[in-house]
Structure 1
Amino acid sequence: MTPFRDRAEAGRRLAERLGRYRESGAVVLALPQGGVPVGFVVAQALNLSLDIILVRKIATPGNPEVGIGAIVDGPDPHVFLDGAAILRSEITMEHVDSQRAKELALLAGRRSLYRGSLPEQALEGRTIILVDDGVETGNTARAVLNVLRQRKVGRRVLAVPVAPARALERLRSSAEEVVCLATPEPFRAVEDHYQNFAQTREEEVIDLLSRAGMAS
């Protein structure tokens, strides 16, 4: 049985599990693209503010699905490199540097598209509920959670509809709380656990952010 009809249903079910944060002043921080429809529903249901945090994967040559690192956006973007993955892939540092420059430029474009002139919300000392539509390896979520720690937020809550148990276990040390609705095994891909996993379009992200009060 497929656990979720679509991202909106996943968001409603996550909100039920997160009910104790209703009107608490926490910030729902969604990962574009697919995390935004989930996070929007969570924020609306719990009467919380919604924001986004942008992440770009640094991929191996010829295989964009395999990451060797990630860049987390912010006033001073943080670059995380997986040294073991780089060694396994026999990638040169020239490739890493080239990919890093390319992804930083793409981050700047996405930031302008989604946020416009709006500044990021003040996160220091606040409870942050990090939301995505699912987790596969957990590398992206771990990178963001580590950045949030450096930004001295209060409580870090990772909330996802579906993830493999092994990835969740690795993430528990990076967050004060992990909420996951389903940990099916065997686990191959997030999309296998949705009836409708259509790609989230940029226009949909912009519309949801506008409805949440993030229009510039």
Structure 2
Amino acid sequence: MISPNDLKFENQLDAAEKLLEILPKNELINGDYVIICSSLESVVLADKVATGLGLSYELLFSEQITAPNNPECEVGMVSETEEIVVNEELIKAFNITLDFIYGEAHRKYEEKILKNVYKYRKGKLLWDLKGKNILLIDEGCETGTTALTSIKTLINLEVKSIVYATPLMPLSLVSYLNTLVDSIFCVRKIANFVDVDFYYKNKIDQAPETIMSILEESPYYLPLQK
């Protein structure tokens, strides 16, 4: 029987190495793929994968939409193209109106997403992804909301294909996400999933200055390429 500790990665770099072992490298490199990093939390992992494959990457910004008076309860997410994904069950359970969702989505876009665009992309718009093959990198899939928001955004940007890659995800989400993307590569599909952080023993610091340093020093981060 596998113990929970056997499912853990040392850190994001260890997870990236193990993810690189299962990715179809030749197909990705020869297929002219662009890596999309699904969040700031995934930059350490995505940069390592980009370096291992020699592929350029871009950040896709999104923010949680939380329930009224309960900032710990995520009821949806909005991306930088203002695509919105919501948890229908929670919205109905808490009697949350669509007006509230759209209002919060726009507020998060104005207050947080645009701020990140200026900070980490020097104000540049998301790179033109129409017709591109995409490798979507996520440091871990927990509820699937970030993945769904990213996938919905990419589809509406008219990308050619999407390969979703993550070190770990709940087994229960695999079949559903498989219907939305061309293929999934996951190191550990876990039946009794706890949360993403649980499966990293010693996570590398992800403070804004650390992330900025990685992006500025990387030859693969598209917005800052010379």
In the TM superposition, what is the alpha-carbon distance from 1:142 to its structure 2 partner?
1.1
Alignment partner for residue 66 of structure 1, among 69, 73, 96? 73
In the TM superposition, what is the alpha-carbon distance from 1:122 to its structure 2 partner?
2.3
Q: How big is each residue's C-alpha offset from its partner over 1:154-181, in whole Å with a ceiling of 9 and x where there is no partner? A: 1201100011011222211111011110
The alignment status of 1:200 with 2:209, answered yes or no, reads no
SS of structure 2 residue aligned to 1:43:
helix
SS of structure 2 residue aligned to 1:34:
helix
**C-alpha separation in 1, matches of 2:123 and 2:100:** 32
Contact 2:134 2:162 in 1 (8 A): yes
SS of structure 1 residue aligned to 2:130:
coil
Contact 2:85 2:148 in 1 (8 A): no
The alignment status of 1:39 with 2:41, answered yes or no, reads no
In the TM superposition, what is the alpha-carbon distance from 1:13 to its structure 2 partner?
1.6
Cα 1:93–1:156 change in 2 (3 A) is closer
SS of structure 2 residue aligned to 1:174:
coil
Q: CA RMSD for the aligned pairs?
A: 1.9
Question: Which amino acid letter does the alignment assign opposite residue 14 of structure 2?
Answer: E
SS of structure 2 residue aligned to 1:22:
helix
The match for 1:25 is 32
Question: Which amino acid letter does the alignment assign opposite residue 122 of structure 2?
Answer: G
The match for 2:116 is 110
In the TM superposition, what is the alpha-carbon distance from 1:94 to its structure 2 partner?
5.4
Question: Which amino acid letter does the alignment assign opposite residue 151 of structure 2?
Answer: L
Cα 1:87–1:102 change in 2 (3 A) is same
Contact 1:2 1:195 in 2 (8 A): no
The match for 2:3 is none
Question: Which amino acid letter does the alignment assign opposite residue 210 of structure 1?
Answer: E
Alignment partner for residue 63 of structure 2, among 56, 77, 81? 56
**C-alpha separation in 2, matches of 1:66 and 1:87:** 14
Contact 1:123 1:153 in 2 (8 A): yes
Question: Which stretch of structure 1 is more off in the superposition, 63-72 or 2-11?
Answer: 63-72
SS of structure 1 residue aligned to 2:147:
helix
**C-alpha separation in 2, matches of 1:132 and 1:71:** 17
Question: Which stretch of structure 1 is more off in the superposition, 31-40 or 155-164?
Answer: 31-40
In the TM superposition, what is the alpha-carbon distance from 1:98 to its structure 2 partner?
4.1
In the TM superposition, what is the alpha-carbon distance from 1:23 to its structure 2 partner?
5.3
In the TM superposition, what is the alpha-carbon distance from 1:58 to its structure 2 partner?
0.5
Cα 1:59–1:65 change in 2 (3 A) is same
Q: How big is each residue's C-alpha offset from its partner over 1:8-56, in whole Å with a ceiling of 9 and x where there is no partner? A: 1111221222223135421111122221111101100000001110011
